[in-house]
Amino acid sequence: MAHFTKATSVKDWLNQRLAIEKVEKVMASEYWIPKNINFLWAMGMVLVITFALLLVSGIFLLMYYQPNVNLAFDSVNYTIMREVDFGWLWRHVHGVAASVVFLIIYIHMFTAIYYGSYKKGREMIWISGMLLFVAFSAEAFSGYMLPWGQMSYWAGMVITNLFSGGSLHADGLVEWIRGDYVPAQAFLNRFFMLHVLLIPVAIMGLIGLHFGALRIPHVNNQDGEEIDFDAESKKYLAGDKAGSKVIRFANDFMSKDMMVVAIYLVFFFYLVFFHYDFAMDPVNFDPADGLKTPTHIYPEWYFLWSYEILRPFSTNIGLMAFAFAQVIFMLLPFLDRSPNAVPASRRGLFKFWFWAMLIDMIVLTSMGKVPPIEPFGTIGFYAALTFIGLWILLPIITIFEKKA
Amino acid sequence: MKNSSRRGFMGKAFGAVAGVGAIASLYAMKKSWDPLPSVKAAGFTTLDMSGYKDNELVTEKWRGKPIFVLKQDAAMVETANKNPKDIERLIKIGDAYYMVCIGLCTHLGCIPGYRPDSKDFLCACHGGMYDATALVTKAPPPRGLDIPPFKVDGNKLVLGEEGPEYKKMKETGITL
C-alpha cells in the first residue's frame, strides 16, 4: 500500500490522494501553446463555452418539456415560454447557441483548412473534429424535432426518407427508424432520447478524443513551423520567457482565449436578447400537421449547403452527391497530397482552391434558402458541380505543389 | 507458461460468451425499435366513394399518411385514355374513374399541391410535377405517386387490404 503522511494542508491532503499538482501541470500550466497564433486559435474555447451554454440551458428546458405528440408543442410554446420564470431565457439561449455553434464550427474548420492544421501528425485532430461535426449535426436535427411544430415534423419526414436510399426503396428501414409509418409518438420519444442522452454522451466522448489528439502533435501556428516543444518549454521554465516560442496553456494562453470568449459572449447575448428570432423559424410556431406540408421546406442555415447539393439532381444522383458531401471533408488529410503544412497563401494553387471552396459553400448556402425557381436552380446546380469538381481537383493540384 | 495459457483460454472463453451476448442484445435492440403491434394493427381505412365530386381533390388519412382521392371528370378520362400508363393508374368503381394515391412526393415525402385549373400537382419542396393521374411529369421525383394497397368492396374502397385490382397494378409495375 502507498505510504501516506499526516497532511499539512487541504492541498497536501488532496495532493497525496489525487496528485492534483501533477494533474494541473499536465492539463494547464505545463501544456504548451505556440506564441505565434491569432484570435482564430480561440475558437476551440469559444466552442467549449457554447457547449456549456447548451448543456445548462438544456437542463432547464428538460425539466418542463413533455416528449408527447399532444403535449410537446404547448410544453415549449406555452409552459416554457409563458409560465416558467425565465423559461424564455433558456429557450432562446438554447436556440441561439444551437445555431451559433455551427457558425463557430465552420470558422474553426476553415481555419484548420487555411493553416494546414490537418497534416503532419494532426490527422486525428481533423478526423475527431469531423466526427464531432457529424455528432453536432445529429444533435441539432434531433433537437429540432422536439417542439413538434410544422418544420419539426416535415424536416423529420424528409430526413428520415433519405434512408430509403432512393431507388433501393428501403421503406422498412425508414419505418424502423421512425417506429411508425410516419413520424409519430415513437419517433418523437426516440429522438428525445437521442437528443438528451445518447448523442450528448457521444459528443462528450468525442471532445475528449479531440483534446487527446491534440496533445502529441500540439497546436499548429500561423507559419506551420515545426516547434521543438521540449526545448522551447525548457527555455521558458529556465526564465527565458521572451526567447521561448511557447507559453503556458494556463494562465497565459487562457487569458488571451477568454478575451476572445468575452467579445464573443457580448455578440452572443446581443443575439439572445435582441435577435433570437433568426434561430426561431416562424413556420415552426404552427403545430405539426401530417396532412399539410409547409409551402417551402428548408433546413436551418447550417445544413443549407449540403441540402443544396442534394436538391438540383434527380433522387439517386442527388443522394449520392449528398452522401459524398457528408463524408468528403473527413478525407481531407489524405486528399491533400502536399506535405506543406503552411498557410494557404503560400501554397500556390491551393490558395485559390481554399477561397473557391469557401465561396462555393456560401453560394450553396444562399441557393439552398431560396425556393427552387430559376435562375436559382441553375446557380445551385453549377455550385453543386463546382463543389464535387473542387474535391476531384484537390489531389491533382496538391501533388504538383512545390515544397514551400 | 502454464498460467499464461490458462489466462489465454479464460480470455477466449469470455470473449466467445460475451460475443454471443452482444449479438443477442443487438437483436433485442433492433426489435425494440420496430413499430409496435398496435401501430401496425391500426392500418385500415374504408372510404365511401359515392361522395366525391369531379376534379375536386379530397385528402383522406391512412396510416398517418395523406391519401389523395381525385374523381376524374370526362375531359380527364379522355386525356388519360390516350396514355395507357395514365388510364391503368385509375380505379374504376361503377362508371366513375378515381385516382387514389399516397399524397407524398416520391422524391422526399412532401405533400404536392393540386392545381384544379391546370389539372396537375406541383410539389413546392423541389419543384416536382405530376399529371391528373399523379404520373410524374417533371423531375426530381423518380416515379408517380404510390398507390396504397386497396380492395374494391361494392361502392367502398378498403385501404390497407390487397384486392385483385391492386395486385394486378403491382404485377404490371404501375405502383410499387
Comparing alpha-carbon positions, the chain B residue that sits nearest to A177 is: B33
CB proximity list for B106: less than 8 A, separation 6 or greater:
A315, B128, B136, B141, B142, B143, B144, B145, B146
Q: Give the span between the Cα atoms of A238 and A234, in whole angstroms.
A: 6
Domain architecture of chain A: domains with CATH: 29-297 (1.20.810.10), 301-404 (no CATH)
CB-CB contact of A61 with A272 (8 Å): no
Q: Which residue has the higher pLDDT, A73 or B69?
A: A73
Answer yes or no: pTM beyond 0.90.
no
Q: Is B163 on the interface with A (CB under 8 A)?
A: no
H-run or E-run covering A33: strand A32-34
Q: What is the largest CA-CA distance in chain B?
A: 91
Q: Give the span between the Cα atoms of A335 and A331, in whole angstroms.
A: 6
- For residue B107, list chain A residues with Cβ-Cβ distance below 8 A: 315
| B168 pLDDT higher than 90 | no
Q: Is B41 on the interface with A (CB under 8 A)?
A: no
pLDDT for res A262: 97
Q: Where are the beta strands (DSSP E) in chain B?
A: 45-48, 57-62, 65-71, 91-93, 96-102, 113-115, 120-122, 129-130, 136-138, 150-153, 156-159
Could you say which DSSP state residue A253 is in?
I
pLDDT band at B2 (very low <50, low <70, confident <90, very high): low
Give the lowest-confidence range in A110-119, A234-243, A374-383, B112-121: B112-121
Q: Is there a contact between B39 and A178 if contact means CB atoms under 8 Å apart?
A: no
pLDDT tens-digit readout, A177-227: 999 888 999 999 999 999 999 999 999 999 999 999 999 999 999 999 999
pLDDT tens-digit readout, B45-59: 888 888 888 888 888
Q: Is B95 helix (H, G, I), strand (E, B) or coil?
A: coil
Compute φ and ψ for B125, nearest 5 degrees.
Answer: -65, -55
Average pLDDT over residues A85-109: 97
pLDDT tens-digit readout, A268-326: 999 999 999 999 999 999 999 888 878 777 889 999 999 899 888 877 888 899 889 98
pLDDT tens-digit readout, A60-85: 999 999 999 999 999 999 999 999 99
Mind giving me the DSSP string for A332-381?
A: HHHH------S-GGGSTHHHHHHHHHHHHHHHHHHHHHS-S-TTHHHHHH
Give the lowest-confidence range in A10-14, A144-148, B70-74, B101-105: B70-74
pLDDT for res B126: 80
pLDDT tens-digit readout, A326-378: 899 999 999 999 988 899 999 989 999 999 999 999 999 999 888 777 788 89
A146 min Cα distance to partner chain B (Å): 19
Q: Is there a contact between B125 and A176 if contact means CB atoms under 8 Å apart?
A: no
Q: Is B176 on the interface with A (CB under 8 A)?
A: yes
Q: Which long-range contacts (CB under 8 A, 24 or more apart) does A130-135 make?
A: A130/A329, A130/A330, A131/A206, A131/A209, A131/A330, A132/A105, A132/A203, A132/A206, A132/A207, A132/A210, A133/A105, A133/A109, A133/A329, A134/A326, A135/A199, A135/A202, A135/A203, A135/A206
Q: Give the span between the Cα atoms of A347 and A9, in whole angstroms.
A: 56
pLDDT for res B156: 84
- For residue B104, list chain A residues with Cβ-Cβ distance below 8 A: 157
Q: How many CB atoms lie within 10 A of CB B19?
A: 10
How many residues can be counted in chain A? 404
| B30 pLDDT higher than 90 | yes
Q: Is B141 on the interface with A (CB under 8 A)?
A: yes
For A171: left if phi > 0, alpha if psi spans -120 to 50, otherwise beta; the answer is alpha
Name residue, grid cell 526545448: A231
Q: Give the span between the Cα atoms of B102 and B91, in whole angstroms.
A: 14
Q: Give the span between the Cα atoms of A159 and A153, in whole angstroms.
A: 10
Domain ranges of chain B: 2-34, 40-171
pLDDT tens-digit readout, A42-64: 999 999 999 999 999 999 999 99
- For residue B61, list chain A residues with Cβ-Cβ distance below 8 A: 290-291
pLDDT band at B114 (very low <50, low <70, confident <90, very high): confident
Q: Is there a contact between A292 and B125 if contact means CB atoms under 8 Å apart?
A: no
CATH classification code of B40-171? 2.102.10.10
pLDDT band at B3 (very low <50, low <70, confident <90, very high): low
pLDDT band at B42 (very low <50, low <70, confident <90, very high): confident
Instruction: Choose among A390, A320, A323: nearest CA to A354.
Output: A390
* Interface residue of A190, A293, A369 to substitute, partner B, most B CBs within 10 Å: A293
- Across chain A, mean pLDDT equals 93
pLDDT for res B161: 81
pLDDT for res A403: 67
pLDDT for res B167: 80
Mind giving me the DSSP string for A300-326?
A: -GGGHHHHHHHTTS-HHHHHHHHHHHH
Q: Is there a contact between A181 and B64 if contact means CB atoms under 8 Å apart?
A: yes
CB-CB contact of A103 with A225 (8 Å): no
CB-CB contact of B47 with B156 (8 Å): yes
pLDDT for res A221: 94
By Cβ distance, the residue of A295, A297, A313 closest to B140 is A313
- For residue A161, list chain B residues with Cβ-Cβ distance below 8 A: 108-109
pLDDT band at A404 (very low <50, low <70, confident <90, very high): low
Q: Is there a contact between B124 and A296 if contact means CB atoms under 8 Å apart?
A: yes
pLDDT tens-digit readout, A139-191: 999 999 999 999 999 999 888 988 887 777 787 899 899 998 889 999 999 99
Please, which residues bridge with residue B91 across strands? B98
Assembly ipTM: 0.77
B61 min Cα distance to partner chain A (Å): 8
* Interface residue of B29, B36, B108 to substitute, partner A, most A CBs within 10 Å: B108
